[in-house]
């Protein structure tokens, strides 16, 4: 059987050159499945998670079409729109478009929140070929007519299931309603809950379906262990683990943004270089943290699930689940940050007695029983501690008013 190469798809010379320069030797399975359909102008439904090469699977056909047809958009309009759930993923997608479209003279604009909108409006004013963005800011620019999508020929919805989790569905419906009916669309999602299948049905026309690796499977190259530990002892356990030099590049996951800040602060105090990355930080701060982690300036990235989506850093030796996620799929995404591109990796979970139900759900989903690294597996879970309410949210009952003289008499009489 002849091996499928990028050249066999008939890509423009500059795209092939960029693929070669990026070290893409042959298409990944999702690319093999989705590229022929995309290049033939068909809609695609891709079931695949980050790390499979899905970005190039949808970006290359769009770039190829633009290489063959150099139209200019009118002011504020775009020819292609890509929606991603997080800023980091949007940045990564935009970089991939720029990398492979470098020789095509296209105007690619990033439209995400967390940074000023004026720069984005200015860039849109001369018309764009490709807009990559997150739903909130996209809708914001659409509402002021600084982004026009009525002539958009290509639409991609990436990580649709995550969009659903994050409550972006109303924004997405707004975007879809403003698109022209004549267009080529693609939807990518790691899982296919009923809402996403419904959305895909309305969005895609006779799509080619390409499914790569179910979400429930964790790469077998990842060694998974669990420490049963009291919540109060997690800090000390984390420091002792991170003092081990084999943790060359680690991502530590916490459930909350404040938790991520606290852990990063504590590690730095102990001379373990760490940076926090979460949704409360501005886009620039998040990008800085990611760059410092990529370059090796910091050894530990402390992140929340949302911020970690789409982090694509090679050579992550360990993923530490400082707190277990309550959605088992998030665990699969988290540990997928290690063992990328065929490398091996280690995933370490901390589990206190209240988190046992989360651990059970994860093990049920993945079908992998984690090896116990320390402590003993409790037989039963303890009920989770009641979350403390923010003082501003506490509703105080009004004090009962002392009845007035006349009222008292009336009550008695009644």
Gap between the Cα atoms of 254 and 349, Å rounded: 11
Looking at the Cβ atoms of 268 and 317, the one nearer to ligand AMP is 317
Interaction residues for ligand AMP, span 39-58 (CB under 6 A): 50-56
Q: Is 336 helix (H, G, I), strand (E, B) or coil?
A: coil
Contact predicate 124/347, CB 8 Å: no
Shortest separation between residue 166's beta carbon and ligand AMP, angstroms: 18
Size of the site for ligand AMP (CB under 6 A): 12
Q: At what angle do helices 87-100 and 283-295 cross, to 10 degrees?
A: 70
Gap between the Cα atoms of 81 and 94, Å rounded: 11
**Using CB under 6 A, which of the segments 21-29, 73-81, 140-148, 173-181 binds ligand AMP?**
21-29
Q: How many CB atoms lie within 10 A of CB 202?
A: 8
Q: Does 28 participate in binding ligand AMP (rule CB under 6 A)?
A: yes
Place of tokens 């909350």: 256
**Using CB under 6 A, which of the segments 22-30, 38-46, 199-207, 258-266 binds ligand AMP?**
22-30
Gap between the Cα atoms of 215 and 362, Å rounded: 12
Interaction residues for ligand AMP, span 261-280 (CB under 6 A): none
Shortest separation between residue 19's beta carbon and ligand AMP, angstroms: 8
Looking at the Cβ atoms of 51 and 61, the one nearer to ligand AMP is 51
Shortest separation between residue 58's beta carbon and ligand AMP, angstroms: 9
Gap between the Cα atoms of 318 and 251, Å rounded: 7
Q: How many CB atoms lie within 10 A of CB 140?
A: 18
Looking at the Cβ atoms of 86 and 146, the one nearer to ligand AMP is 86
Q: Which residues of 189-199 are buried (b: 16+ CB within 10 A; e: fewer)?
A: bbbbeeebeeb
Shortest separation between residue 53's beta carbon and ligand AMP, angstroms: 3
Gap between the Cα atoms of 21 and 4, Å rounded: 18
Q: Does 290 participate in binding ligand AMP (rule CB under 6 A)?
A: no
Looking at the Cβ atoms of 52 and 73, the one nearer to ligand AMP is 52
Looking at the Cβ atoms of 24 and 154, the one nearer to ligand AMP is 24
Looking at the Cβ atoms of 212 and 300, the one nearer to ligand AMP is 212
Shortest separation between residue 310's beta carbon and ligand AMP, angstroms: 7
Looking at the Cβ atoms of 27 and 133, the one nearer to ligand AMP is 27
Shortest separation between residue 33's beta carbon and ligand AMP, angstroms: 13
Which structure tokens are listed for 316? Answer: 């992550």
Q: Does 24 participate in binding ligand AMP (rule CB under 6 A)?
A: yes
Cα within 13 Å of Cα(27), Cβ side: 23
Cα of first residue to Cα of last residue in the chain, in angstroms, is: 96
CB neighbour list of residue 278: distance below 8 Å, 6 or more residues apart: 257, 260, 261, 286, 303, 304, 306, 307
Looking at the Cβ atoms of 31 and 134, the one nearer to ligand AMP is 31
Per-residue x/- track, 306-325, ligand AMP (CB under 6 A) = ------x-------------
Place of tokens 């990355």: 277
Looking at the Cβ atoms of 51 and 259, the one nearer to ligand AMP is 51
Cα within 13 Å of Cα(55), Cβ side: 21
Integer angstrom CA distances of residue 29 from 2, 54, 306: 15, 9, 26
Shortest separation between residue 339's beta carbon and ligand AMP, angstroms: 12
Looking at the Cβ atoms of 27 and 207, the one nearer to ligand AMP is 27
Shortest separation between residue 251's beta carbon and ligand AMP, angstroms: 16
Which structure tokens are listed for 377? Answer: 């597996």
Shortest separation between residue 328's beta carbon and ligand AMP, angstroms: 21
Shortest separation between residue 111's beta carbon and ligand AMP, angstroms: 20
Contact predicate 6/24, CB 8 Å: yes
**Residues near ligand AMP (CB under 6 A):** 24, 27-28, 31, 50-56, 312
């Amino acid at each position: 059987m002849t091996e499928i190469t990028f050249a066999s798809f008939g890509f423009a010379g500059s795209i092939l050159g960029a693929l070669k320069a990026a070290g893409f030797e042959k298409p990944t399975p999702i690319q093999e499945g989705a590229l022929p359909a995309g290049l033939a102008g068909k809609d695609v439904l891709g079931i695949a998670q980050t790390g499979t090469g899905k970005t190039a699977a949808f970006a290359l056909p769009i770039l190829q079409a633009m290489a063959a047809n150099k139209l200019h958009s009118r002011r504020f309009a775009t020819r292609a729109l890509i929606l991603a759930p997080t800023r980091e993923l949007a940045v990564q997608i935009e970089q991939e478009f720029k990398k492979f479209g470098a020789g095509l003279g296209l105007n690619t604009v990033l439209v995400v929140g967390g940074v000023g909108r004026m720069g984005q409006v200015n860039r849109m004013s001369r018309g764009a070929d490709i807009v990559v963005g997150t739903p909130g800011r996209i809708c914001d620019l659409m509402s002021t007519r600084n982004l026009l999508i009525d002539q958009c020929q290509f639409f991609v919805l990436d990580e649709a299931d995550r969009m659903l989790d994050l409550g972006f569905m109303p924004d997405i419906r707004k975007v879809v309603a403003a698109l022209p009916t004549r267009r080529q669309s693609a939807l990518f999602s790691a899982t296919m809950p009923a809402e996403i299948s419904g959305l895909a049905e309305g969005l895609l026309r006779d799509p080619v379906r390409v499914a790569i690796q179910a979400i429930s499977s964790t790469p077998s190259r990842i060694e998974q262990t669990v420490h049963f530990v009291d919540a109060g002892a997690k800090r000390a356990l984390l420091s002792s683990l991170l003092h081990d030099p084999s943790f060359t590049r680690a991502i530590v996951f916490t459930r909350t943004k404040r938790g991520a800040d606290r852990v990063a602060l504590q590690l730095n105090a102990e001379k373990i270089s760490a940076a926090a990355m979460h949704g409360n930080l501005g886009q620039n701060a998040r990008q800085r943290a990611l760059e410092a982690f990529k370059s090796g300036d910091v050894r530990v990235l402390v992140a929340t699930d949302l911020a970690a989506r789409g982090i694509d850093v090679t050579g992550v030796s360990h993923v530490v689940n400082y707190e277990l996620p309550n959605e088992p799929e998030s665990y699969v995404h988290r540990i997928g940050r290690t063992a990328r591109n065929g490398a091996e990796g280690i995933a370490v979970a901390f589990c206190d007695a209240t988190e046992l139900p989360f651990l059970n759900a994860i093990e049920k989903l993945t079908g992998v029983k984690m090896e116990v690294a320390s402590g003993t597996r409790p037989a039963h879970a303890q009920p989770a501690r009641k979350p403390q309410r923010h003082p501003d949210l506490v509703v105080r009952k009004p004090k009962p008013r002392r009845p007035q003289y006349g009222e008292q008499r009336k009550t008695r009489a009644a």
